[in-house]
Structure 1
Amino acid sequence: MGGTVKPINAQAAAGAGTGAAGQIVLLGCGFVADLYMRALQAMPGIGVAGVWDSDAARLAAFCSHWNVPARDGLQSLLAQAPDALVLNLTNPAAHFETSKACLEAGRHVYSEKPLALTLDDAKTLHALAADKGLILASAPCSALGEAAQTLGHALRSGIAGTPRLIYAELDDGFIPQAAYDKWLTESGAPWPYEDEFRVGCTLEHAGYYLTWLISWFGPVRTVVAASAETIPDKTGTGPFAPDFSTATLFFETGPVTRLTCSIVAPHDHGIRIVGDKGVLSCKAAWDNAAKVRFARRITLRRRLMEHPFPRTIRLKQPTHPKVKRWGAAAMNFMLGPAEVLEALRDGRPCRMSNDFALHLTEVTLAIQNAGETGGAQRMTTTCGPMEPMPWAK
């Protein structure tokens, strides 16, 4: 299905929450690239100047479906759009080499997670970007979304009082028994299950809450983690990464947090922030418009409990363009690239900063690689808290 990219709805057409304009190029057009293109329909003013993928058949199918121009190599992709932001959507094993090539060519890069599969490689990319004065940002960008920003506003407003403890879950169900071989995108890309199992659910998913937490509280000081492979006989060629991890995070200025990731435990994408006055919560990390609720703490007949009918916390609308649900997610994947383009246009610091991307990578790798004996790990990178979106202040 080809055709001109158009806004999804009236709010999107009005450009609520984003004034981004500019060009992007897509390096890689696998499964996740369709999610970016769906989101792009809600983001007027951003154009696709070219796409390249090493799989010629996949490239042809993608470009035909979305009516975007194909290029015949990385050099052609960069040369034909010298001012475009590069979206690195290659598979994780290729992130380091491809991002390095783009940075060396003097290009700003927005990379799918993780920046690299090792901290040394991530630090190399960070140093290269700093040397050349370039932006090196990393997905996920849901910290810029309405749900995360609503929680951040509630924290700053003291609705729950001082936050004392946070529980965050990113459990996806017993994925090895799912019909994942039938999961296809709109343009026909299959879910890359072998790559997903080799890379691991922690590297793939922990960022969806880590970015929220780091955006509110700043850097993690210490990670105390463990990880394991609980289902060894997955489909495909191993070795496979841990399919379960749990971490206790100690922030420089925030509350202690427990974060769990798995593709084994029943589906749970909830976060609960326990404060002196009650509990803030959100049940859907992958939904930008998920409800944020506050249950105040009460005593009823000498029993201490959270109010059984929590109130919904809302920000003044409009916030940002929304994307309709597709599969498990209702996320606008273009909020991150749009933030980079806006920062470049306005000459201001980017919320998705290089330091933020590197710190996110270090924390995620510390959790993923903890194994049975990793224990406490002191972080070597840092970053500042993220400036709230203008509509969330």
Structure 2
Amino acid sequence: MRRIAILGCGFVADLYMRSLAAMDGIEVALVYDHDAPRLDRFCAHWSLPSSGSLIEFLGSVPPGAVVLNLTNPSAHYELNRACLEAGHHVYSEKPLALEVSEAKELHALAAQRGLLLASAPCSVLGEAAQTLGHAIRTGTAGTPRAIYAELDDGFVPQAAYDKWLSETGAPWPADDEFRVGCTLEHAGYYLAWLISWFGSVRTVVAASAETIPDKTGSGPMAPDLSVATLFFENGPVTRLTCSTVAPHDHSIKVIGDKGVLRCNASWDNAAKVTYARRLTVRRRLMEHPFPSRVRLGNRTTHPKVKRWGAAAMNFMLGPAEMFDALEKDRPCRLSADFALHMTEVTLAMQKAGETSGAQAMTTRCDAMEPMPWAM
């Protein structure tokens, strides 16, 4: 039996549990959260065993289990480190840490202890991302020349987020989300896809700003808008935008020599991937107005999860990949190199401000091996 241990049972933890229901052969060994009432509600709802303290939790995680760190981002570095020091494989919600130096420490510690260290999001292992990656590799649209990716979530400060509750009643953590910022929270959804296809980003040229003042919560707020141009070592120039300001748009467009590949929903594992070939009609250059659907054929991909709220994602694809790598003694697709590099690129976008200019990345990772059903 593959076993996970859940650290933190806030808003996102229920999404992991719904995904777990779609996966065979994975069970929860134990759960801990410093909020005792919250822990009791979560464990009672899902019929799970709990730990009374962090020390007890770290000492009770079964050998070979994977700890899912689902705590608030400000606690990620400290708790990821504690788990690694206790000898446990770690799958961390994004970001891996809030500073590149801290992420590098975790990377080094995992290597020293011979442990797996992975980071969300795992939608890169999903059908939509893998289908688009397959279309790129096989030249459906020709050589990719540029990519435009958007992760805009609408004017969130005016949304009814006080009514956003998880299945077990955990509120959407608005204060924390605004302090951490949409870039750290969401850029990884497309960065993971991009890095998996093309490998390392060489240079980030970005700008970020807080455009909506007086949000709910205390303390300094993170930028609510970032725009980055990414220069890959072996890939096309890419523009990536994150905001909680602009109208909702989660599209990605791969512009090739022959036409445009597109996906409109990064948070849906089963989202359509389309191809619009380029043509000339009466001297006018255009993409075909009726794009064709790109498919992988009749291949069996992975268990799907029904939509809940804004997402239709199987959050357990990442931990399942870690277990598969451990059991087959092969490199994990969600490697520590991958997690570290994605963290550095994300932080470069988040902290760009107005005058940072071109930022050279100090970390590297290889492109990801496609899933067997997307080869």
TM-score (norm 1): 0.94
CA distance in 2, matches of 1:227, 1:281: 26
Match of 1:53 among 33, 37, 53: 33
Match of 2:70 among 89, 98, 101: 89
2:290 — aligned with what? 309
Please tell me whether residue 250 in structure 1 is matched to residue 226 in structure 2. Answer: no
Shift of 1:90: 0.8
User: How many residue pairs end up in the alignment?
Assistant: 373
1:348 — aligned with what? 330
2:341 is matched by which residue type in structure 1? H
1:53 is matched by which residue type in structure 2? D
1:66 — aligned with what? 46
Please tell me whether residue 105 in structure 1 is matched to residue 86 in structure 2. Answer: yes
Match of 2:162 among 152, 176, 181: 181
Please tell me whether residue 390 in structure 1 is matched to residue 375 in structure 2. Answer: no
2:338 is matched by which residue type in structure 1? F
Shift of 1:80: 2.4
Shift of 1:253: 0.3
1:94 is matched by which residue type in structure 2? A
Shift of 1:318: 1.8
Match of 1:360 among 342, 357, 365: 342
1:341 is matched by which residue type in structure 2? F
Residues 186-230 of structure 1: CA deviation (Å, up to 9, x unaligned):
011000000000000000000000000000000000000000000
Shift of 1:79: 2.5
CA distance in 1, matches of 2:10, 2:357: 36
CA distance in 1, matches of 2:351, 2:61: 38
1:209 — aligned with what? 190
Please tell me whether residue 372 in structure 1 is matched to residue 366 in structure 2. Answer: no
Aligned positions of 1:311-330 closer than 5 A: 311-316=292-297, 317-330=299-312
Aligned positions of 1:250-269 closer than 5 A: 250-269=231-250
CA distance in 2, matches of 1:82, 1:64: 21
Shift of 1:374: 1.1
Shift of 1:82: 2.5
2:208 — aligned with what? 227
| Uncovered stretches (5+) of structure 2, i.e. residues with no partner | none
Please tell me whether residue 128 in structure 1 is matched to residue 109 in structure 2. Answer: yes
CA distance in 1, matches of 2:68, 2:61: 13
CA distance in 1, matches of 2:45, 2:167: 8
Match of 1:332 among 314, 321, 326: 314
Question: % of aligned pairs identical?
Answer: 74
TM-score (norm 2): 0.99
CA distance in 1, matches of 2:100, 2:54: 25
Residues 250-304 of structure 1: CA deviation (Å, up to 9, x unaligned):
0000000000000000000000000000000000000000000000001111111
RMSD: 0.7
Shift of 1:51: 0.2
